[in-house]
Amino acid sequence: MSQIALLFASTALALFYLVFMTRSAPSALRSAIKTGSIALLALAALPVPLLALALGLGALGDLALSRNGERAFLAGIAAFAAAHLAYLAVFLTLAGEPVLTAGWQISAGLGVTTVSLLMVRLLWPKSGSLRWPVLGYVGIIAVMAINSLLVPEPYARPVIAAAFLFVLSDSLIATERFLIEAAPAPRWLQPAIWLTYWLAQFFFCIGIAQIL
């Protein structure tokens, strides 16, 4: 199957999950659709092995997070932390026109740092026995996002968009799991988490593998 066909198949699964499954109960089908969408992106990225590894780890993280329970959540955190380290390794392999440090990059880096510190402050008293894994993950994704600002052209724009969408998606996950207490989560939250997350993985895939 060609890279374009794999992208279309991933998109179809992602849209199906978005419309029909973001608020559904855990099931084997739900896990398969969610995991399969990212696994197809990993297959499309096979010409860039480190990128395929990062996306594959993301698919494993999706499989874990599609289930209930603290152990599944910890497995998901571990898989996504490894994925972000793989993305950092990918960034170091990208050659191209160097990106000159500009005001917007400095502002974006400071923005990520500020959001990360705010999340640490909010999550510290709320995350209980998951505190250290969660806060360690916050640090890892912040480092990944800040380093995305140094990625050279022609990769820079999709990679930066992907990294910041990932930060947004994970901030929404943390809000849903730890910060929303008495009231049920808004109905839009799960679809927003999935949409921002999948777009992040999609932009990483097409931006680094230069598919489109």
Name 153's Cβ contacts closer than 8 Å, sequence gap at least 6.
96, 97, 99
Name 135's Cβ contacts closer than 8 Å, sequence gap at least 6.
120, 123, 124, 127
| Cα-to-chain-centroid distance, residue 94 | 20
- What is the dihedral sign for C-alpha 186, 187, 188, 194? positive
Q: Any idea which residue has 């996950």 for tokens?
A: 173
Q: What are phi and psi of 184, to 5 degrees?
A: -65, 155
Q: Mean pLDDT of all residues in the chain?
A: 93
Q: What is the 3-state secondary structure (H, E, C) of 39-81?
A: HHHHHHCCCCHHHHHHHHHHHHHHHHHCCCCHHHHHHHHHHHH
Instruction: Give SS3 for 153.
Output: strand
CA 72 to each of CA 100, 176, 185: distance values in angstroms, whole numbers, following the listed order: 41, 16, 21
Q: Any idea which residue has 């992602």 for tokens?
A: 14
Looking at residue 182, its pLDDT comes to 64
Looking at residue 4, its pLDDT comes to 94
Q: Do the Cβ atoms of 138 and 120 come closer than 8 Å?
A: yes
Q: What are phi and psi of 27, to 5 degrees?
A: -160, 165
Looking at residue 163, its pLDDT comes to 97
- Single out the residue of 95, 208, 84 nearest to residue 157, CA to CA: 208
Looking at residue 100, its pLDDT comes to 61
- Cα distance between residue 34 and residue 62, in whole Å: 7
- Cα distance between residue 123 and residue 142, in whole Å: 15
Q: Counting runs of H as helices and runs of E as strands, what totals does the chain give?
A: 8, 0
Low-confidence stretches of the chain (pLDDT < 50) are none
Looking at residue 61, its pLDDT comes to 96
